[in-house]
Structure 1
Amino acid sequence: MATAHNMCPELIVEIFTRLPTQSLLRFRSVSKSICGMIGSPDFIRLHSVRSPKKFTVIHRVNYKAEGVTKSVYTINSAGEGQLSYMGTTPVEYPFAYVNIVGSCNGILCVYEIDKRIIHLWKPSIRRKATVLFPPVWTPGLALGFGFDPSIDDYKILWTVRGGEVSFVYTMKTHTWREIASHADMDRLSVVKSPMMCLFNGALHWAVKRDSRRSGGCYVMTFDLSSEVFSTIELPEPSWETDTVTVIKGCLAVVSSSSKDVDASSRIWVRNTDAAWSLAFKLDMRQPVQSINGDLVFSGCYSSKGILDYHDPETGVPSRLVDLTGSSSYVTAMITCIESLELLHFGTSCHQGKQALDC
């Protein structure tokens, strides 16, 4: 029977880059050579590419036995054509109340505005790296996170309210530097997106101009490599657009009428020729997150804990989970992958125990 010592290195890499992260973390103790291979940047990047997409759901849970309410999270399967939620084990959330900015290569970017701290968090290996805001801090207009392949590094964008100036943080240098902002991002603009969207190497947000200016909503973009801002006009600028996402490999937005509270939401998809087309409608307004091309919308940020998903080709909804009759409710959800990114950065944020039954 072949062992890791007499197998060719290429075959070992082929096998190991298809294994789950928890197995790889254990296998680092096999030998120094295996440990070095698993921790190498090339291995981590290839493993990230081959890792299946997951989705992380964050809940608020009332633990009756302890008499407390805690936040927990679960990592759930998002295989092609199916979503798996039930049977996942909740783990205690490692932060106080934070806003989720977005995710890239399995790293989630979250921030604590009161503490002026940004966390890069890896749920699958339970590690985090903490970043302080720029020294000259003012309330922000936009915050984004992504990977710049031109320098093989992660970047964080912070655009101050007023839009006159932005800052970029690079992970390897641990430094902030100032860059110019877009002329259209002034004090009258308001970012509507609850999370940024990373698409084709650029960050995207839904932005609304002040009522004193014409134009309504639009999409603001920031190219992570060139560090240049630009804008994309929307098919219905007068409608409220709160969500920018990716559906079937295309940029998409979710819009609804601000004049009719009962109006359905419209899903618009931007084709390769930069033209918008109406994909389908939702019969209610709810936060939308795309998982493997399926639209997953939920009763996030409310007393409801319902997760439904839609096939963008048929528009037919299916119930993923309903927590309305339990002591748990959904507060956030986001796409992620189980990768080894952050393995050599930051600190462990393992809470020491998994969540108890509620």
Structure 2
Amino acid sequence: MNRKRTANPPDLLSSMEESKGEQTTATDAQKSPTLPASVIVNVLSKLPARSLFRFRLLSRNYLNLIHSPDFIAAHARDSCLNRAGLLLLAESLSCPVASFLPPAIPDNSCGGGTSIEQLKNTGGASDFPLPFLKGYGQFGVRPSLRFAGSFTGLVCLILHRWGEYWVLWNPATSQFSFAPPPILPQDDCFCNRESPHRVLVGFGYDSEASDYKSVRVCWWQDGGSGVQVEVLSWVKRSWTQIQDRSFQTILTLNRKGTWSFPDPPLATSNGGVYWMDTITGMVLCFKLHDEKLEWISTPYPADSPKWSVLSTISVWKGSLAMFVLTVQDSLLSVCLFDEGDSSWSTLLTIPMLGSPCIPEAIWRVNGCNLFLLYINCVTCDSEGGILKLPFEEISRAFEFAETLVPIPGC
């Protein structure tokens, strides 16, 4: 549980300055130069969230500052812009693993096939514990995590593929909370004998409502229960079923082919959750505030032969991005989506070597070196350096920054 703190940084700065004044005037003989409180706060805002979380034990002033909503928000903004790395959800022999690859690693650690274990020894990578899996063995099955989205340091996961058990987790502080069960009964989620259905899940932040939300979209292609859309407010801790007849048309009539299954590419940014239909290359968007579904255009011509373009969606510096690989030219383009005019712009283009393959994510290391993360658990940079990842399978890799953001509703 998170204790509510209402003190604002200016008040905390005053209290820190008064405290320091008392310490320095206690004995004039032991006076020593001290930093202004504003400088201390600025320095603290640049530190990793895990370090700051330990600092709360130093004094009441540090505790109040670190729990201040304004400080948490300022630290999160700076972390997401300047300290975002990659969080990998991977499968090991015994249980899922969450590993963080920061944006700064030793410069001599990338070439020659360096392993992630070596990076951990030098402070270039770390594992996050998964406290919400404690006691999971009582269900008699091996846990399998499904990624639903991440925003400002919070990660939303599902402990069952069909979306019954939701957990919201801050890896940096180890805080987590489970959501109440969705409206759609669990028994209806496993199968419909006459027509298998699809389940899309997502998570993001509604800035207009100041609320984190999860969404689950279930539908049957032939008859059945049609389309059912449920939205969870993490602040209110309640699900709402969205009644909109247009959903059925959007998901069945406005497209061709069959949805990729079970986990289409997923991204969260700018108040929207995005899924990519890998068959058609189109992107489906759910607006968290308006609670509307809509299709958006792609950055390459719709009439392009499907074999000539490989693509997937991700997040790049907080914005929706699409990685487009033109097979004929062996060029990988990173395109960013502009919400304002619903258009795409090309941020950068990278020449590709070897067989054409679309990366899972792009990771900017040490400010300039670009690493491409592939589903075969190997990353490579533009200069040919290789980083080995000791995982059987990477289930998801996504942009992540450590923050102190608390779990809403707790």
Normalised by the length of structure 2, the TM-score is: 0.65
Q: Which residue of 2 aligns with 1:229?
A: 293
Instruction: Write out per-residue CA displacement over residues 47-75 of structure 1, whole angstroms, 9 at most, x where no aligned residue.
Output: 1111211222244445xxxxxx3433322
Distance 1:81 1:38, change over 3 A: same
CA RMSD of aligned residues (A): 3.8
Determine if contact 2:283/2:296 at 8 Å carries over to the other structure.
yes
Instruction: Write out per-residue CA displacement over residues 143-200 of structure 1, whole angstroms, 9 at most, x where no aligned residue.
Output: 1111111121111111112473311111110011122364311387625764421233
1:119 to 160, 167, 187: 167
Partner SS, residue 184 of structure 1: helix
Tell me if 1:76 matches 2:76: no
The runs of 5 or more residues in structure 2 that have no matched partner are 1-14, 22-35, 111-115, 134-142, 190-196, 221-225
**Structure 1 residue 250: Cα displacement:** 6.0
Distance 1:248 1:169, change over 3 A: closer
Tell me if 1:206 matches 2:276: yes
Matches of residues 238-249 of structure 1 in structure 2 within 5 Å? Answer: 239=306, 243-247=312-316
Q: Which residue of 2 aligns with 1:131?
A: 179
The runs of 5 or more residues in structure 1 that have no matched partner are 63-68, 210-215, 310-315, 347-358
Q: Comparing 173-182 with 30-39, which one deviates more in the overlay? A: 30-39
Partner SS, residue 25 of structure 1: helix
Q: Which residue of 2 aligns with 1:23?
A: 51
Q: Comparing 225-234 with 191-200, which one deviates more in the overlay? A: 191-200
Determine if contact 1:256/1:265 at 8 Å carries over to the other structure.
yes
Q: Which residue of 2 aligns with 1:337?
A: 401
Larger Cα-atom Rg: 2
Determine if contact 1:129/1:342 at 8 Å carries over to the other structure.
no
**Structure 1 residue 338: Cα displacement:** 0.9
> What is the distance in 1 between the residues matched to 2:164 and 2:212?
19
Q: Which residue of 2 aligns with 1:186?
A: 252
Matches of residues 310-321 of structure 1 in structure 2 within 5 Å? Answer: 316=382, 318-321=384-387
> What is the distance in 1 between the residues matched to 2:16 and 2:318?
40
Determine if contact 1:153/1:170 at 8 Å carries over to the other structure.
yes
Greater share of strand = 1
Determine if contact 2:99/2:127 at 8 Å carries over to the other structure.
yes
**Structure 1 residue 31: Cα displacement:** 3.3
Distance 1:318 1:204, change over 3 A: farther
**Structure 1 residue 319: Cα displacement:** 3.3
Determine if contact 2:363/2:372 at 8 Å carries over to the other structure.
no
How many residues align structurally?
318
Normalised by the length of structure 1, the TM-score is: 0.73
Tell me if 1:106 matches 2:130: no
> What is the distance in 2 between the residues matched to 1:145 and 1:294?
30
Distance 1:44 1:271, change over 3 A: closer
Greater share of helix = 2
Q: Which residue of 1 aligns with 2:12?
A: none
Q: Which residue of 2 aligns with 1:57?
A: 88
Counterpart amino acid of residue 219 in structure 2: R
Distance 1:275 1:154, change over 3 A: closer
Distance 1:13 1:249, change over 3 A: closer
Q: Comparing 337-346 with 101-110, which one deviates more in the overlay? A: 337-346
What percentage of aligned pairs have identical amino acids? Answer: 20
**Structure 1 residue 245: Cα displacement:** 2.1
Determine if contact 1:146/1:198 at 8 Å carries over to the other structure.
yes
Q: Which residue of 1 aligns with 2:373?
A: 298
